[in-house]
């Protein structure tokens, strides 16, 4: 129900004395509703298995998958509290522990011959233990009681996120579905492999987002909030661009390393930088649409994704018949460009933030020049890596040359370089 987003947004509007009771209210409501939904899925497990998997005998898979989601409902409030309290180390430790345990269980269950059932069971067990480990965080950060008005405000903000999330899935998966109707399945497999590598830049977004929302909401009401947010957006954009550039430039070599001994995958390499560009635009959307959330205009999210998903499907249908997997990749870029443009425009309308668009554009320009230089690399691996390394090394110099740094930032960099320089 999008309650994680709603919890964050409303938390910062409440007096500190009411925040613990609000956390308890959201946790109780989430537990009650998710219990009811899990019970419903359990009762209908046979028909659901027949509908989704074509076999009612696989109903235990439906139950295990639903159990994973159900148990996760008990963890999002304490996870949110860790983010609000800026306890990054604890947040990371819990996440690493959960995924490490999940991986170990998967290996053990698969080695024991439990197949898909073992994979799904490991997800549910790891999530349940994760929620249990977070229980002390919830007990400390929440109190008993029920406050209806803040819960209604959270749901009012959160519920539009549900169609938004569903439409994002349409946007993310339509390309492969449409591609499979026009090209051989082998080409779909090539595209999926390249897409997975290109989309790797989203891990930077996933790492950034848990800290981004608490930081922004904590700025609400401060006189210099717009300037502060704009400056952080510029720095985050620079990091996203640098990571995206690295993946785009080295995409072919990454693909070759991961599919060593299987050259059949290597023709998919041109897809990687295009997908990287799409996810860089997604990062731009995440950064520059924040005013919508600050003003609680969550109803704009499904409207934006409806337009974006429509553009994605239309572009895929138009480009794939002629250009195959490259058409699918550019359709993804087009859809994320539409999303980024809509997010920036609507956000500026409801909550103007003085984004440093000139500096952000110069940073992107420096990356474009670096990427263009990397295209001069030969086919042979060793000289190609040398040329590409030089192109990547040129990026920060181009950022400076294009005037993307402020005087105080240049002075800071000179001071840092002076301290790091070897002394005689």
pLDDT profile of the chain (424 residues), mean per 10: 82 86 92 95 94 89 95 92 85 90 94 94 95 93 86 86 82 86 89 88 77 81 87 93 94 87 86 94 91 86 90 94 93 94 93 92 96 92 92 93 86 73 57
Give dist(CA 248, CA 270) in Å, integer: 9
Instruction: For residues 172 and 150, give the distance between their C-alpha atoms in angstroms, rounded to a whole number.
Output: 33
Query: Which pairs count as long-range contacts for 389-394, CB under 8 Å and 24+ apart, including other chains?
Result: 391/249, 392/245, 392/246, 392/249, 394/369, 394/370
Q: Determine the pLDDT at residue 174.
A: 86
pLDDT at 182: 92
**pLDDT at residue 285, rounded to an integer:** 92
Instruction: Quote the pLDDT of residue 164.
Output: 81
Note the pLDDT of residue 420: 61
Predicted pLDDT of residue 357: 92
What is the b/e burial string over 376-415, where b = at least 16 CB atoms within 10 angstroms of the residue's CB? ebeeeeeebeebbeebbebbbebbeebebbeeeeeeeeee
Q: Which pLDDT score, from 0 to 100, does residue 47 have?
A: 94
Note the pLDDT tens digit of each residue in 63-112: 999 999 999 999 989 998 988 888 888 888 998 999 999 999 999 999 99
Identify the CA nearest to 278 among candidates 252, 303, 312. Answer: 312
Which sequence spans correspond to the domains of the chain? 1-159, 161-355
Single pTM value for the model: 0.80
What pLDDT does 421 receive?
58
- The neighbour count for residue 288, using CB atoms within 10 Å, is 23
Phi, psi dihedral angles at 283 (to 5 degrees) = -60, -40
pLDDT at 205: 76
What pLDDT, on the 0 to 100 scale, is given for residue 422? 61
CA angle (98 as vertex; 97, 101 as ends), nearest 5: 80
């Amino acid at each position: 129900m999008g309650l994680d987003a709603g919890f964050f947004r409303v938390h910062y509007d409440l007096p500190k004395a009411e925040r613990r009771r609000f956390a308890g209210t959201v946790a109780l409501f989430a537990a009650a509703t998710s219990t009811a939904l899990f019970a419903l899925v359990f009762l209908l497990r046979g028909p659901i298995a027949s509908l989704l998997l074509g076999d009612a005998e696989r109903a235990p898979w439906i139950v295990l998958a639903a159990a994973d989601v159900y148990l996760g409902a008990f963890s999002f409030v304490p996870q949110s509290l860790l983010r609000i309290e800026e306890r990054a180390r604890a947040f990371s430790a819990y996440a690493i522990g959960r995924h490490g345990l999940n991986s170990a269980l998967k290996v053990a269950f698969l080695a024991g011959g439990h197949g898909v059932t073992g994979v799904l069971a490991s997800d549910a067990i790891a999530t349940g233990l994760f929620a249990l480990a977070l229980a002390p965080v919830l007990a400390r950060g929440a109190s008993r009681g029920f406050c209806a008005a803040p819960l209604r405000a959270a749901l009012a903000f959160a519920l539009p996120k549900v169609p938004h999330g569903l439409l994002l899935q349409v946007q993310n998966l339509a390309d492969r579905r449409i591609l499979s109707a026009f090209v051989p399945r082998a080409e779909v497999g090539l595209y999926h492999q390249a897409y997975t590598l290109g989309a790797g830049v989203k891990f930077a977004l996933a790492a950034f987002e848990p800290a981004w929302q608490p930081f922004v909401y904590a700025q609400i009401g401060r006189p210099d909030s717009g300037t502060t947010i704009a400056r952080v957006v510029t720095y985050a954009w620079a990091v996203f661009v640098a990571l995206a550039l690295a993946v785009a430039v080295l995409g072919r070599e990454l693909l070759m390393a991961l599919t060593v001994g299987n050259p059949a995958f290597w023709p998919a390499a041109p897809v990687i930088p295009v997908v990287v560009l799409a996810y860089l635009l997604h990062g731009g959307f995440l950064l520059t649409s924040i005013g919508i959330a600050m003003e609680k205009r969550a109803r704009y999210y499904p409207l934006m994704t409806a337009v974006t998903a429509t553009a994605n499907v239309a572009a895929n249908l138009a480009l794939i018949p002629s250009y195959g997997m490259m058409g699918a990749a550019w359709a993804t870029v087009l859809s994320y460009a539409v999303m980024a443009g809509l997010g920036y425009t609507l956000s500026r309308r409801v909550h103007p933030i003085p984004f440093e668009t000139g500096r952000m554009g110069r940073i992107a320009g420096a990356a474009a020049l670096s990427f263009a230089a990397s295209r001069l690399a030969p086919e042979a691996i060793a000289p190609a890596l040398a040329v590409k390394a030089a192109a990547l090394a040129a990026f920060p110099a181009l950022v400076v040359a294009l005037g993307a740094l402020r005087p105080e930032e240049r002075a800071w960099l000179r001071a840092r370089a002076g301290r790091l320089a070897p002394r005689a």
